[in-house]
């Protein structure tokens, strides 16, 4: 295993979208961190119906959370990007009710579930930050629920593209032309949006033709964010800063 990144040197902290931590917070997190996990693209980090004694934060790479029904139907709940906190459910409940899979190679910072209470005791402000993360994820799920419940296929796709692109932008993953490497396949998109693969493809085709965006060979380009937001009926105001753990 390669040498691990010290939290004080975490490259994510340099990004504008993460708040500055105090010395004591940083020192605590660095001690709290018990290692790093390298995971290959296309593998399962956490499995539905199993339990786990770890909590992770994403240092690098992207993935997604999903649930499967016993007859095989599956639903992607949300996509996971650097800075995200994952596996909190595993730390609080007996059993995971979702799986986590990777889309690219990922690097995860590993924390022990057993240390969580100590985090709350020793660094209340970090405890608060954990709630912040849980609450932000809930907001994303809320909006996703609106998509699945009330948006048409075209609107859903436009919304999801805006969200993914915005997050990538915040993280500095987008180049000057609005292009970002996102190896999300059409079947992933279909599973996230509650659509069939075929209909996802046709709708995506429709959006691409109007030249507001393109998504080819794992590269997403957004050319006209405003129009996409309009199509999606999404008010699209930008996010404030995130407290990284």
Q: Which is nearer to DNA, 13 or 154 (CB)?
A: 154
Binder of residue 143, out of a copy of itself, DNA, none (CB less than 5 to 8 A by kind): a copy of itself
Residues 113, 191: Cα–Cα separation, whole Å? 30
Binder of residue 102, out of DNA, a copy of itself, none (CB less than 5 to 8 A by kind): none
Binder of residue 14, out of a copy of itself, DNA, none (CB less than 5 to 8 A by kind): none
213-216 β-sheet, strand order = 179-181, 219-222, 213-216
For the bound state, the minimum distance from the C-beta of residue 32 to a copy of itself, rounded and expressed in Å, comes to 14
Query: 101-120 mask for a copy of itself (x: CB under 8 A)?
Result: ---------------xx--x
Tokens of 158: 């436009």
Residues 48, 65: Cα–Cα separation, whole Å? 10
Binder of residue 101, out of a copy of itself, DNA, none (CB less than 5 to 8 A by kind): none
Q: How far apart are the first and last CA of the chain?
A: 23
CA-to-CA dists, residue 190 to 20, 33, 111, 138, 197, angstroms: 37, 35, 32, 21, 5
Selected from 34, 35, 50, 92, the binder of a copy of itself by CB under 8 A is 92
Q: Does 240 bind a copy of itself (CB under 8 A)?
A: yes
Residues 38, 227: Cα–Cα separation, whole Å? 38
Q: Which is nearer to a copy of itself, 149 or 176 (CB)?
A: 149
Selected from 138, 176, 209, 217, the binder of a copy of itself by CB under 8 A is 138
Q: Could you tell me what percentage of the chain is helix, strand and coil, using 3-state DSSP and rounding each to the nearest 5?
A: 45, 25, 35
Give SS3 for 229: helix
Piece of 26-34, 53-61, 189-197, 200-208 that binds a copy of itself (CB under 8 A): 189-197
Q: Residue numbers of the site for a copy of itself (CB under 8 A)?
A: 65, 67, 69-71, 73-75, 77, 88-89, 92-94, 97-98, 116-117, 120-121, 124-125, 127-128, 130-132, 134-139, 141-146, 148-151, 191-194, 233, 235, 240
């Amino acid at each position: 295993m390669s040498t691990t990144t010290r939290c004080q040197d975490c490259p994510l902290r340099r990004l504008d979208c993460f708040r500055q931590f105090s010395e004591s917070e940083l020192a605590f997190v660095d001690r709290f961190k018990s290692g790093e996990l390298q995971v290959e693209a296309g593998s399962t980090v956490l499995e539905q119906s199993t339990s786990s004694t770890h909590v992770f934060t994403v240092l690098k790479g992207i993935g997604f959370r999903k649930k499967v029904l016993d007859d095989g139907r599956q639903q992607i709940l949300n996509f996971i990007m650097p800075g995200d906190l994952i596996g909190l459910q595993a730390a609080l409940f007996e059993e995971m009710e979702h799986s986590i899979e990777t889309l690219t190679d990922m690097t995860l910072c590993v924390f022990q579930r057993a240390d969580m209470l100590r985090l709350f005791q020793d660094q209340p402000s970090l405890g608060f930050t954990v709630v912040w993360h849980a609450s932000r994820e809930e907001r994303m799920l809320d909006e996703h629920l609106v998509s699945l419940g009330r948006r048409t296929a075209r609107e859903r796709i436009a919304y999801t593209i805006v969200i993914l692109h915005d997050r990538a932008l915040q993280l500095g993953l987008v180049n000057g032309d609005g292009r970002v490497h996102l190896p999300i396949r059409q079947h992933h998109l279909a599973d996230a949006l509650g659509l069939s693969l075929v209909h996802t493809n046709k709708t995506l085709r429709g959006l691409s033709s109007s030249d507001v965006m393109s998504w080819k060979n794992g590269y997403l380009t957004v050319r006209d964010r405003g129009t996409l937001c309009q199509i999606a009926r999404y008010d699209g105001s930008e996010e404030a800063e995130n407290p990284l753990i």
